Structure 1
């Protein structure tokens, strides 16, 4: 998120693109044949890019991850993302430039999301600085950022019905909440506070608070002080099964605006959704480096 609060960016690298209909239709047997660097920009002139690419587009090493024309690399304590993508409708155009994420520290927290550890959340840099330099007017800014990963050996919809996640700047660091309803009816509720030096502390969970549904009527809730009224400050990404937005809540009497996600896996499981997604997530099976 930018310091001024009017712009934001998200970047997700996928091996086995979990939200790709092409990966689902393939039977999810070959994750390295469905790779992606998903880049979305939010604010004036925002764009969305998510191209499902084949095995030939993938190169990886301990410090570098290339997918077609875009890449991520770890260098001198920074995650450097070089972006060269084409955005999908309704605003089609090239998204090109560089994003630098600098964690204040790298944590050692790992949270199993299911009892058997089939899904893991790993918040590497929950307190980070970000610099954005894209080839578009107004898309050169800095702000506060976040760097994490999710790992899994099963499809999300095989284990979850619904989840929410939120990361809120708080007490000089950041506070994260992870809540999920599993398909077996059990629930996950976890909260962590991270200091800038990487110190992590699991915290008592504040009250769960609902707020206005998304444009596609995805249910949304987050955590906050009793009596607080969370609200959306900026819509970021709105899909029939997914909402990402800037949300304001109150923690320990202090107002905080952070990034919030809600994911309805029951909807995502529906077969009617996959052809809709294919419009937003094109498949480009072949790529040759150096072409």
Structure 2
């Protein structure tokens, strides 16, 4: 998010594009044949890109990840994202560079299921971000975050609902993962990260509901007793997924960060896939020699 709070960007690199209808329709047999770098910008003139590509578009090295015309690279201190995508439905070019400068890189891994089939890896919970998309108003700096999720089963096979939140604090970053598993158990993760990469388990305030999304997705995050979180910036609003800027209170500190809610009961409904196909075009071929 920008320091002024008016702009934001989300970038997700996929091998096995979990929200792609094309991946589901393929039977999810070949993750490397459904790859994507999803870029969403929020604020005036915000755009959405999520092109599902085939295995010919994928290139990987120890310190780089490329999908067609876009890619990520790591030089030991900075993660650089080179973006060259086309938005839907506007069909406009989204092109430029984003740099994420971590304050530190953690060694934390959190299993989200008892058998370790799903792992959350918060690489850099505290970071600075530098955005230059070559358009008026889209050169800015702010606070950033870099994590990853790994899984060997479909999300909707193991989870019914989850929320995630990341809030910059005076000490560094507070991050929450609250998961309702399909086996009837719940997982509650509350971690505090300092600026050197140190991590400690938080005494988490209670889960507190706030207004549902426009698609009526349930939303709840952590907040001190007697306080209520509130949305301060609209971002992604979908029938099964909500991302927004949220202000809440944690141990007396008023903080603003990014919140996500994912309703996987809705996501596994077959009625949703044709809707997603409109926002997620499929481009199976790519030639790096072009």
TM above 0.5, one fold? yes
Show structure 1 runs of 5+ residues with no match: none
Question: Distance between the aligned counterparts of 2:42 and 2:141, measured in 1?
Answer: 14
Q: Write the mapping of 1:1-291 to structure 2, written as runs, cut at 5 A.
A: 1-89=1-89, 91-291=90-290
Question: Distance between the aligned counterparts of 1:4 and 1:124, measured in 2?
Answer: 25
Partner of 1:267, secondary structure, is helix
TM-score (norm 2): 0.99
Runs of 4+ in 1 over 3 A off after TM superposition: none
RMSD (Å), alpha carbons: 0.6
In the TM superposition, residue 75 of structure 1 has moved relative to its aligned partner by: 1.3
TM-score (norm 1): 0.99
Question: Distance between the aligned counterparts of 1:188 and 1:35, measured in 2?
Answer: 29
Show structure 2 runs of 5+ residues with no match: none
Question: Distance between the aligned counterparts of 2:204 and 2:253, measured in 1?
Answer: 16
In the TM superposition, residue 76 of structure 1 has moved relative to its aligned partner by: 3.9
Question: Distance between the aligned counterparts of 1:84 and 1:3, measured in 2?
Answer: 25
Partner of 1:135, secondary structure, is coil
Partner of 1:245, secondary structure, is strand
The count of aligned residue pairs is 290
Question: Distance between the aligned counterparts of 1:186 and 1:84, measured in 2?
Answer: 42
In the TM superposition, residue 184 of structure 1 has moved relative to its aligned partner by: 1.3
1:44-63: per-residue Cα shift (whole Å, max 9, x none)? 10000000000000000110
Question: Distance between the aligned counterparts of 1:130 and 1:171, measured in 2?
Answer: 18
In the TM superposition, residue 202 of structure 1 has moved relative to its aligned partner by: 1.1
1:31-55: per-residue Cα shift (whole Å, max 9, x none)? 0000000000000100000000000
Partner of 2:29, secondary structure, is coil
